[in-house]
Amino acid sequence: MGDKTLLYGFYFLFFVIILYLLLFLLNPDKIYKSIHVVRNIVIQLLPVIFLVIFLMGVSNYFLKPKTVMKHLGEKSGVRGWIIAVSFGILSHGSMYLWYPLMKDLREHGMRTGLIAVFLYNRAVKIPLLPLMIYYFGIVFVIILTIYMILTSLVIGKTIEMIIKTPS
């Protein structure tokens, strides 16, 4: 799986670089701007990348399949859903940075629905709530947040019904 991921990753990266080269021929200024944006994103992402690598290392060291199965596995029950919701809300950075850790945890026995719940709740960001309140008002933000947490559970359950085994 690792080699396949790496190979597809390089294909994808190659495709995007070709796209950059083509667009560079049409409008170099826009590509310089894009590269500047990318540089800023990478700078912002670096601390989260280190955090994710650290968490992956810690999970490799401490989390044995048995532990993951107990807290996030098929029989984790309500506690598993609560952990996934909380972990999703508390996690930082872009969603795609968390895919490798989710893949690791699933290989250790985390149920598919809880991965979906975690990823959905990444949308609920406590540090950003004041800004959201500024733009949309506190009542709106409270209602939306409650609906989003409930929706994450519905999506998690639905995904488990659709995907019986990891694809």
Name residues contacting other proteins, limited to 60-119 (CB under 8 A).
60-61, 94-97, 99-100, 102-104, 106, 112, 115-116, 119
Interface residues for other proteins in 115-144 (CB under 8 A)? 115-116, 119-120, 122-123, 125, 128, 131-132, 135-136, 139-140, 143-144
Stretch that binds other proteins, among 14-22, 65-73, 79-87 (CB under 8 A): 14-22
149 binds other proteins (CB under 8 A): no
Task: Pull the structure tokens for residue 88.
Answer: 């999703």
Which of 25, 43, 78, 167 is close enough to bind other proteins by CB under 8 A?
A: 167
**Distance between alpha carbon 46 and the CA centroid of its chain, in Å?**
15
Beta-carbon neighbour count of residue 114 at 10 Å?
27
Determine the size of the site formed for other proteins (CB under 8 A): 72
Angstrom distance (rounded) from CA 101 to CA 59: 9
Q: Which residues of 39-51 are buried (b: 16+ CB within 10 A; e: fewer)?
A: eeeeeeeeeeeee
Helix (H, G, I), strand (E, B) or coil at 110: coil
Stretch that binds other proteins, among 41-49, 69-77, 78-86 (CB under 8 A): 41-49
Task: Pull the structure tokens for residue 17.
Answer: 């670089």
52 binds other proteins (CB under 8 A): yes
28 binds other proteins (CB under 8 A): no
Which of 30, 64, 66, 92 is close enough to bind other proteins by CB under 8 A?
A: 30
Contact between 155 and 114 (Cβ < 8 Å): no
Q: Residue 109: CA atoms inside 13 Å, Cβ hemisphere, count?
A: 17
Closest distance between other proteins and the C-beta of residue 143, in Å? 5
Closest distance between other proteins and the C-beta of residue 72, in Å? 15
